Structures are given as structure tokens and as C-alpha cells.
């Protein structure tokens, strides 16, 4: 009866966190209700004798609930059942206290100016609390018992004809609470489980959309998204963004000579080696299409850009593969470009185009090397320091492209 639906722990923890947030909000209602009625009936003996003890009791409960609120997530992660028990206790105790006050008013024949408001408040809060906390089925039973049972007991013991009218009203209220809580319980959990299911499906589809099927590395769509994000980050941090396009040398010959399955193995081998290096240096790596890959990283200097390119070239030593007793060393060429977004009017598309030009030169000059788009080390450092001018980093006019960086 009091068990939660069978679903994964993530959903249950999320539901319990939502339950605690709802309970924390409702915890602030009890003391104001008592103060409003008590302050409007200060001359009543019952109020005079119980005013401060009840205020102190509600304050203590509120203080304990505040402590639990800020530690609940930690307790929930460590011990789910303990967290659920503590939350139940801290919720039920003020409910029981309010029900007890209502019971005393009925049994002691306290003035109607006090008794009737307490009966109304108790019934309203009982219904509202039960429906608000319907996430956990325990409250559809415990809250009505804590709030209404003491008052009903007093009515039965006192047996006054004026109070007996409350019995059928209380019974109807309990039936309404039970049935409504049951329906809201099923509606809430059905909606939560359905939402979680579609959220998981959405995440799976998104992951598939941004992942290359063969290499299981980020694909071009993911690379374009990451480029946009890093471009804005580099602009904010006033840094340079390096874009390196990596192309496997003679890949068509590999496919033609050894077959496409062997070519796929080569792609996966190269992707693993380059991705491993990318994680090591904190860059982003993706398969851009065919035999092309990209590496993106925010860099602080031209020297760092060269170090990244040289590090990528050195990964070719990890891409040696055997086929029919023949050892094949897979090499690749790299085109490098970089721009400082805060210093230039050029866009990320220009960054990509410049790397393509640099790759073309690397291929044209013999492959198995990297080339940077029209740069020398001093030129890059000079551009990095020109924060008050509109210029580009690692980029010069096309007519100067013959001045290329040396191969790794």
C-alpha cells in the first residue's frame, strides 16, 4: 500500500526531492494559522495557557524542517529509506499537533470563535496537504489520521449533539481525500515515468545525431556546434581559437588495395589515437567526414598551436596496422588555422576555409606533415599582443601563403 512504483532510482530520487520541496513550503503554514486565531482571542483562557508552548513547538518543528531541507539531498543519496522516514516524521508531527489542538477545542468546549476556525483550518489543511504530498502514498493515510482522528475521537467521547454533525462531514472528507489522492498519485507517477522515458529517448536520439556511427566519435554536426560555442568563449576570454583539419594520406589507395572493411579499421584506429591525444590536451576532436577529422582548441600562444599540431602528427606512430603479413603505417596531413575572434571581423567559416587551404599546401608539398595558414612564430605572437587593433591571428593575405611553417 505504501510502496512507490517500480522504476529506476533516478526517477524515484527526483520524485522524493520534489516531495520534500512541496513539504518544505507547507511547513510554514501551521504557525501563522495558530497565531491568527490566538491573537484574535487573547482573552480566552485556553489561548492564554497554550499560546507560548504551541508557538515554541511549531517553531522547533519548522527549525528542524529547515535543517532537513538543506541536508535532504545528501541523506537521500546515502540512505533512501532513512530520508523517507525522516521526511515522514517531520511532516506528520505538525499535522498531529494541529489535529490535537482541534481535539482539545472540541473536548474542552472552547469558544466557538476558536473551535470552528480550527475545525475549518484542520479540514482544509488536511485535504490540501494530502493532495499536495500525494507523490508518496503514505500521506493519503497518515495525514488524515494525524489531523482528523484526534478531533473525531473527541467528538465521539464528548457526544454532544452539536458536534455529532461533524462525523458525517469528516467521513466524506476522508473518502474524498483518499480517492483524490489515489488518482493524483497515479497521474503524477504516470506523467513522471512517461516524461523520463521520452527524455531518455530524446537524449539517445541526440547522442546518435551527434555521434559518428563508425568511429563512435563526435561527428561534423557536433563539431560545428562546438566550434560555435568555442568561438564565443574565445571572444569572451580574448584568446585565439585553433582549428586543425586532419586528412589521412592516400586513403583512396588503401580502400582500393585492401578493401573498404580494412579502410574502416584504419579510420577507427586513427580516430582512437587522435581522440586520446585530444582528451589529454583538453581539446575537442571529431570525425568531419570521409577520411577527415578536426581538432579544436582555445590556445594562448602561437607556440602552443604548433605544439598541438606536432602532438597530433606524433600520433601516427600509433596507427601502424598489419595486413597479410605486411605492416602498413597510416600517415596523415594537417592544415592549421587560428583566429582571435575579438580582434577580427572574420568568422568561423573563414577559420575553416583557411585550414582547408593550409591542408591543401601540406598535401601538395609531400603529405605526412602539417602546414599553418601563412604564419611564422613571431607573426602569431605579434597578433596575440595586438588587443587594440582589428587583425587576425595566424592569418595573412593570400599572396603571402608561400611563407609556411616547417613540417613537424
- Give the three cell numbers for residue 390: 582589428
Provide the pairing of β-strand 332-339 with 370-372: parallel
CB-CB contact of 137 with 185 (8 Å)? yes
pTM for the complete prediction? Answer: 0.62
What does the pLDDT look like over 99-152, one tens digit per residue? 999 888 888 888 888 888 888 999 999 999 999 999 999 998 999 999 988 888
Average pLDDT over residues 153-169: 76
For residues 295 and 227, what is the distance between their CA atoms, to the nearest angstrom?
10
Location of C-alpha cell 588587443? 387
The H or E element containing residue 224 is helix 220-237
Bridge partners (DSSP) of residue 243 are 296, 337
Q: Read off the DSSP letter of residue 341.
A: G
CB-CB contact of 275 with 318 (8 Å)? no
> Residue 375 has what pLDDT?
54
Dmax over CA atoms of the chain, in Å, equals 107
Percent of the chain with pLDDT over 70: 89
> Residue 162 has what pLDDT?
66
Average pLDDT over residues 194-206: 89
**Residue 350 phi, psi dihedral angles, 5° rounding:** -65, -35
Residues 6+ apart with CB under 8 A from 294: 223, 243, 244, 245, 246, 285, 286, 288
Q: Which of 60-64, 225-229, 391-395 is the least confident region? A: 391-395
pLDDT mean across residues, the chain: 84
The H or E element containing residue 86 is helix 80-107
> Residue 156 has what pLDDT?
81
**How open is the CA angle 35-163-140, to the nearest 5 degrees?**
65
CB-CB contact of 274 with 246 (8 Å)? yes
Q: Which of 291, 304, 365, 399 is catalytic?
A: 291
> Residue 161 has what pLDDT?
67
At 325, the pLDDT band (50, 70, 90 cuts) reads: low
Location of C-alpha cell 599582443? 385
> Residue 154 has what pLDDT?
84
- Give the three cell numbers for residue 29: 503554514
**Catalytic: 304?**
no
Average pLDDT over residues 237-262: 88
For residues 50 and 48, what is the distance between their CA atoms, to the nearest angstrom?
6
> Residue 1 has what pLDDT?
59
For residues 187 and 183, what is the distance between their CA atoms, to the nearest angstrom?
6
399 pLDDT higher than 60: no
For residues 246 and 335, what is the distance between their CA atoms, to the nearest angstrom?
7
The radius of gyration of the chain from alpha carbons, rounded to an integer in Å, stands at 36
> Residue 402 has what pLDDT?
37
What does the pLDDT look like over 90-112, one tens digit per residue? 999 999 999 999 888 888 888 88
Amino acid at each position: 500500500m505504501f510502496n512507490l512504483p517500480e522504476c529506476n532510482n533516478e526517477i524515484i530520487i527526483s520524485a522524493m526531492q520534489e516531495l520534500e520541496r512541496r513539504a518544505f513550503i507547507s511547513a510554514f503554514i501551521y504557525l501563522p494559522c495558530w497565531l491568527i486565531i490566538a491573537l484574535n482571542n487573547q482573552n480566552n483562557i485556553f489561548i492564554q495557557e497554550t499560546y507560548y508552548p504551541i508557538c515554541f513547538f511549531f517553531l522547533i518543528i519548522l527549525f528542524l524542517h529547515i535543517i532537513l531541507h538543506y541536508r535532504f539531498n545528501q541523506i537521500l543519496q546515502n540512505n533512501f529509506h532513512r530520508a523517507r522516514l525522516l521526511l515522514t516524521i517531520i511532516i506528520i508531527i505538525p499535522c498531529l499537533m494541529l489535529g490535537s489542538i482541534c481535539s482539545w477545542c472540541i473536548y474542552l468546549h472552547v469558544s466557538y470563535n476558536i473551535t470552528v476556525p480550527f475545525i475549518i483550518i484542520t479540514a482544509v489543511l488536511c485535504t490540501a496537504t494530502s493532495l499536495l504530498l500525494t507523490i508518496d502514498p503514505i500521506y493519503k493515510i497518515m495525514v488524515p489520521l494525524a489531523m482528523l482522528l484526534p478531533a473525531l475521537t473527541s467528538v465521539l467521547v464528548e457526544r454532544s449533539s452539536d458536534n455529532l454533525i461533524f462525523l458525517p462531514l469528516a467521513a466524506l472528507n476522508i473518502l474524498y481525500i483518499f480517492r483524490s489522492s489515489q488518482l493524483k498519485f497515479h497521474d503524477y507517477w504516470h506523467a513522471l515515468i512517461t516524461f523520463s522515458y521520452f527524455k531518455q529517448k530524446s537524449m539517445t536520439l541526440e547522442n546518435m545525431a551527434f555521434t559518428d556511427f563508425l568511429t563512435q566519435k563526435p561527428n561534423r554536426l557536433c563539431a560545428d556546434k562546438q566550434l560555435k560555442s568555442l568561438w564565443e568563449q574565445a571572444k569572451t576570454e580574448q584568446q585565439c581559437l585553433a582549428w586543425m583539419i586532419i586528412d589521412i594520406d592516400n586513403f583512396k589507395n588503401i580502400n582500393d588495395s585492401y578493401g573498404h572493411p580494412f579502410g574502416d579499421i584504419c579510420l577507427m584506429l586513427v580516430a582512437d589515437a587522435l581522440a586520446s591525444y585530444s582528451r589529454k590536451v583538453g581539446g575537442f576532436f571529431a570525425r568531419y567526414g570521409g577520411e577527415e577529422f578536426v581538432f579544436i582548441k582555445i590556445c594562448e600562444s602561437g607556440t602552443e598551436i604548433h605544439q598541438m599540431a606536432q602532438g597530433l602528427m606524433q600520433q601516427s606512430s600509433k596507427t601502424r596496422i598489419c595486413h597479410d603479413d605486411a605492416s602498413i603505417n597510416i600517415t596523415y596531413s594537417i592544415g592549421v588555422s587560428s583566429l582571435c575572434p575579438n580582434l577580427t571581423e572574420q568568422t568561423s567559416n573563414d577559420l575553416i576555409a583557411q585550414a582547408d587551404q593550409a591542408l591543401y599546401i601540406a598535401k601538395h608539398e609531400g603529405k605526412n606533415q602539417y602546414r599553418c595558414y601563412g604564419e611564422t612564430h613571431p607573426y602569431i605572437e605579434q597578433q596575440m599582443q595586438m588587443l587594440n587593433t582589428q587583425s587576425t591571428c595566424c592569418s595573412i593575405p593570400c599572396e603571402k601563403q608561400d611563407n609556411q611553417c616547417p613540417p613537424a
